[in-house]
Amino acid sequence: MEKAKPRLGGQAVIEGVMMRSPRSLAVAIRKQDGQIVVKEDIWRSVWERLRFLRWPFFRGGVVLIESLANGIQALTFSANQAAEDDEEAEKLSPTALFATVAVAMVLGIVLFVVLPHFLTGFFGKVADIELSVSGILFHLIDGLIKVIFFVAYVWGISLIKEIRRVFEYHGAEHMSIFAYESGLDLTVENARKFETHHPRCGTSFLMVVLIVSILLFSVAFPFMPRFAEMNSVLRNLIYVAIKIPLLFPIAGISYEIIKLAGKKPDSTLLHWAVLPGLWLQKITTRRPSDDQLEIALLALRKTLWRETQGEAGGEGRIESFANFEEALASIGDGD
């Protein structure tokens, strides 16, 4: 029986791509002078030590947290490499990074959890509609506001020149993974054949999270205490506080949907479940240049190199190369 191919995932970073396999995390970037920098290291998921975290509906939350951590690590590396090209830029210190991430997470919760919840209640009062958190209409409106905010946010940042470059690398990441999953040689010519929209993308995952949250909140909140005698603002703050930990089971369910959609591309139901995320990828991915595809393929090949070498490959390291061909020669046959 043919051995199953390792499943790969990735993320676009500043002027580069991060790729992750079961054993490796690699980041490849291209600097302003054309020099290519590749960072690779051994990576192990927490569920190798805590096997129960592999169970369905547990693993989605683990993947979400680990992907966030890996993404921050990769973005920090790429940002610091970019800072070396800009004399006025400063490298991110661990303290500055922690503060930036903490502020971003708080703003994300405010924008996509707190504000939609209170705006839904405000809409009910303005429209003279009885909206209760125990009713599905409240969560449908709440979910619609979240989707509008999310799409508006993504569209807004897509207008920024630097973000458009990141979205091009996002497309390169997807096209490279498509080439790998199709069993083709990992070349620019083969990767160029594919589209930029991938069903297992994090964008699709986030859209599925929004949809699943509507369903789960509609089922769960009718069983919540009413807090009828409590001030309405405090009562709704409690409801918001309840929603935040519920994001973990929502992530678990969403992950299983995305995973099934990847395994069963012919399923009509699963296709419709991930379709909004594929539509949104028309914004979050752009057609990359061949130079950008080279970077994505290097990161992908480097993770596959670790899969074949394992511990024998030694500790991870950062390497610099003058061009794509030199970097490719250092990795060898990563197929």
Instruction: Count how many domains the chain has.
Output: 1
**Per-residue tokens: 306:** 């670790």
Predicted local distance difference test score (pLDDT) of residue 335 = 45
Q: Is the pTM of this model over 0.85?
A: yes
Q: Are 300 and 178 in contact (CB under 8 A)?
A: no
**Per-residue tokens: 157:** 């940042």
The answer to whether residue 2 sits within a structural domain is no
**pLDDT (tens digit per residue) in 231-279:** 889 999 999 999 999 988 898 899 888 888 877 878 888 888 888 888 9
Nearest residue to 271 via CA among 184, 193, 199: 199
Give DSSP secondary structure letters for 12-48. Answer: EETTEEEEE-SSEEEEEEE-TTS-EEEEEEE---GGG
The answer to whether residue 75 sits within a structural domain is yes
The answer to whether residue 70 sits within a structural domain is yes
Percent of the chain scored above 90 by pLDDT? 48
Give dist(CA 212, CA 215) in Å, integer: 5
Predicted local distance difference test score (pLDDT) of residue 71 = 86
The answer to whether residue 4 sits within a structural domain is no
The answer to whether residue 1 sits within a structural domain is no
Predicted local distance difference test score (pLDDT) of residue 175 = 96
Range of the domain at 81: 9-331
**pLDDT (tens digit per residue) in 302-326:** 999 998 887 767 788 899 999 999 9
**pLDDT (tens digit per residue) in 183-204:** 999 999 999 999 999 888 888 8
Neighbours of 326 (CB within 10 A): 12
**pLDDT (tens digit per residue) in 85-101:** 766 556 666 677 777 77
The answer to whether residue 137 sits within a structural domain is yes
The answer to whether residue 322 sits within a structural domain is yes
